[in-house]
Amino acid sequence: MNINCLFDSGNIEVIDASDSKAIKLAIRNDSNSEFKQWFHFRAHGEIGKTYNFEITNAKECSYVDGWKDYQVVASYDGDYWFRVHTQFSDGKPLAFSHQLEQSTIFFAYFEPYSYQRHLSLIHQAQHSELSQHIVLGQTVDGHDIDLLIIGDESRERKIWVTARQHPGETMAEWCAEGLVERLLNEDDALSQSLLQDAVFYVVPNMNIDGSIRGNLRSNAAGANLNREWQNPTVENSPEVYHVRNKMKEIGVDAFLDLHGDEGLPYVFVAGCEGIPSYDERLKYLEEEFSLILKSVNPDFQTEFGYDKDEPGRANLTVANAWVGEEFKCLSLTLEMPFKDNANLPNRETGWSGDRSYLLGQTLLNPLYQLVKKLR
Ligand code: GEM
Ligand code: ZN
């Protein structure tokens, strides 16, 4: 079997691919970092033959609980991704098998979102009269940091959405695509009504370098961008540095930071209950946001999620905490599963790009209901 990962978001190391019954692989660390969990590679073999794969360093990955009940995603065309039966037990490799229906197949940790698709989303948006494309600066590797401004900048409420600070959380950019495309749909009454009161500032991919490099959590300098919001630097975290500066220039009345979670098989949000300025108004907005989103999208739930921060104990290096404190606004981290939504499982695909896209569209519903109450 021939295995290759020399492409956008590729990550695998081949230890031994000589025995189809035990193809031994390892996941490479993120750039200049100890994080690892994202993998994406292309395998070429004999049609009809079954191949057994072992990711030998799964037990040394960043979120080992992420392998519990996890199923690898696979695709023959890079468009339709399905789950393959996967086994993991403590101390053992992550093991999965597949009988080839075609000679070449892709395997990944989650449905990839390519840089080419990112560029296409930006080009699609700039063709709309509703949207402007701004380059905020460059990443460590020199890629453009793309901001989409959707709506009329004279509108009163400024709503910011960032996605994929953690590059391996590709569901975040699928979700951002759904939100952007609904905003650009001039036949959509809800989004067009919302744009009468608000203008959106959307960064669909906060970590272009890490995405292309096949990182899980880091940028090219090894920084975890979601721990850089208190003191970003143009050298190590230019992505946060430039976005934060633009936020200070424009202001923020609501903020959503889109992520994926390795362990919890649920869609949930984390608020900013631990920031010093948290008050009844922010509590009300967070609770209303969740109630409305639950009512329009049963994929979202509030029973499972992160432990709440104690009062005054929020980590202000985290995006939603820093933004909430700086702008005293509704500020949420949205999490989607790498596994599946345990409440509404899809055996064929698990959680997917499509379900992330649909969730992104429905994020506009609570924002529409709350836009006049944000201040
Ligand atoms: C998380 S968000 C940080 C934890 N937040 C709260 N409120 N407990 C991170 O950056 O570790 C988001 C993610 O990685 O998906
Ligand atoms: Zn994340």
Is the pLDDT at 183 greater than 90, yes or no?
yes
Query: In this predicted model, what pLDDT tens digit does every residue of 21-48 receive, in sequence order?
Result: 999 999 999 999 999 999 999 999 999 9
Q: Distance from the CA of 264 to the center of ligand 1, in angstroms?
A: 12
- Return the residue matching tokens 């609770």: 287
What is the average per-residue pLDDT within 291-313? Answer: 98
Separation of alpha carbons 375 and 373, rounded Å: 5
Ligand nearest to the CA of 166: 2
Query: In this predicted model, what pLDDT tens digit does every residue of 193-205 receive, in sequence order?
Result: 999 999 999 999 9
Atom of ligand 1 nearest to the CA of 272: 7
Which ranges in the chain are annotated with CATH 2.60.40.3120? 2-108
pLDDT for the residue numbered 90: 87
Burial call 7-19: b when 16+ CB within 10 Å, e when fewer: ebbbbbbbeebee
Ligand nearest to the CA of 320: 1
Judged on CB neighbours under 10 Å (0-12, 13-18, 19+), 311 is exposed
Do 105 and 74 contact (CB within 8 A), yes or no?
Answer: yes
| Annotated catalytic residue 156 | no
Confidence of residue 55 (pLDDT cuts 50, 70, 90): very high
Do 147 and 135 contact (CB within 8 A), yes or no?
Answer: yes
- CATH, range 115-373: 3.40.630.10
pLDDT for the residue numbered 91: 85
Is the pLDDT at 51 greater than 90, yes or no?
yes
What is the average per-residue pLDDT within 123-134? Answer: 97
> What's 181-218 look like in SS3?
HHHCCCCCHHHHHHHHHEEEEEECCCCHHHHHHCCCCE
Q: Distance from the CA of 163 to the center of ligand 2, in angstroms?
A: 9
Atom of ligand 1 nearest to the CA of 259: 15
Best substitution site from 259, 261, 310, 356 to test ligand 1's pocket, by max atoms within 8 Å of Cβ? 259
What is the helix (H) or strand (E) element at residue 269, kind and residue range?
strand 268-270
Instruction: Determine the number of helices (DSSP H) and then strands (DSSP E) in the chain.
Output: 9, 17
**Could you tell me if residue 277 is left (phi over 0), alpha (psi between -120 and 50 degrees) or otherwise beta?**
alpha
Residue minimizing CA distance to atom 8 of ligand 1? 306
Is the pLDDT at 155 greater than 90, yes or no?
yes
Find residue 23's DSSP bridge partners.
53
Give the environment of ion ligand 2: residues with CB less than 5 A: 166, 169, 259
pLDDT for the residue numbered 249: 98
Which ranges in the chain are annotated with CATH 3.40.630.10? 115-373
User: Cβ < 6 Å from ligand 1: which residues?
Assistant: 166, 226, 259, 261, 270, 306, 309, 318, 333, 335
CATH 2.60.40.3120 fits 2-108, yes or no: yes
Query: In this predicted model, what pLDDT tens digit does every residue of 245-270 receive, in sequence order?
Result: 999 999 999 999 999 999 999 999 99
User: Strands 23-26, 131-138: parallel, antiparallel or unpaired by DSSP?
Assistant: unpaired
Do 87 and 95 contact (CB within 8 A), yes or no?
Answer: yes
Separation of alpha carbons 145 and 204, rounded Å: 10
Atom of ligand 1 nearest to the CA of 260: 15
What is the average per-residue pLDDT within 119-129? Answer: 97
What is the average per-residue pLDDT within 283-310? Answer: 98
Please list the alpha-helical segments (H only) found in the chain. 115-127, 171-183, 189-197, 208-213, 238-250, 280-296, 319-327, 353-362, 364-370
Atom of ligand 1 nearest to the CA of 333: 2
Q: How many percent of the chain have pLDDT more than 90?
A: 99
Best substitution site from 218, 308, 318, 334 to test ligand 1's pocket, by max atoms within 8 Å of Cβ? 318
pLDDT for the residue numbered 41: 98
Separation of alpha carbons 297 and 266, rounded Å: 13
User: Among 279, 278, 281, 228, which Cα is nearest to 257's?
Assistant: 228
Residue minimizing CA distance to atom 5 of ligand 1? 270
Find the catalytic residue in 181, 239, 273, 335: 335
Separation of alpha carbons 54 and 15, rounded Å: 10
pTM: 0.98
Q: Distance from the CA of 356 to the center of ligand 2, in angstroms?
A: 14
Query: In this predicted model, what pLDDT tens digit does every residue of 57-95 receive, in sequence order?
Result: 999 999 999 999 999 999 999 999 999 999 999 889 999
The neighbour count for residue 134, using CB atoms within 10 Å, is 14
Ligand nearest to the CA of 227: 1
Separation of alpha carbons 166 and 66, rounded Å: 15
User: Among 351, 331, 356, 358, which Cα is nearest to 161's?
Assistant: 331
Query: In this predicted model, what pLDDT tens digit does every residue of 220-231 receive, in sequence order?
Result: 999 999 999 999
Name the strands in the sheet holding 104-108, side by side, starting at the edge strand that comes first in the sequence.
2-4, 40-44, 104-108, 72-75, 82-84
What is the helix (H) or strand (E) element at residue 135, kind and residue range?
strand 131-138
Count Cα atoms within 13 angstroms, Cβ side, for 274. 16
Judged on CB neighbours under 10 Å (0-12, 13-18, 19+), 167 is buried
Q: Distance from the CA of 357 to the center of ligand 1, in angstroms?
A: 21
Atom of ligand 1 nearest to the CA of 335: 15
Residue 149 to residues 113, 202, 276, 283, Cα–Cα distance (Å): 21, 6, 30, 28
Query: In this predicted model, what pLDDT tens digit does every residue of 323-374 receive, in sequence order?
Result: 999 999 999 999 999 999 999 999 999 999 999 999 999 999 999 999 999 9
Q: Distance from the CA of 227 to the center of ligand 2, in angstroms?
A: 10
What is the helix (H) or strand (E) element at residue 161, kind and residue range?
strand 157-163
Q: Distance from the CA of 270 to the center of ligand 1, in angstroms?
A: 8
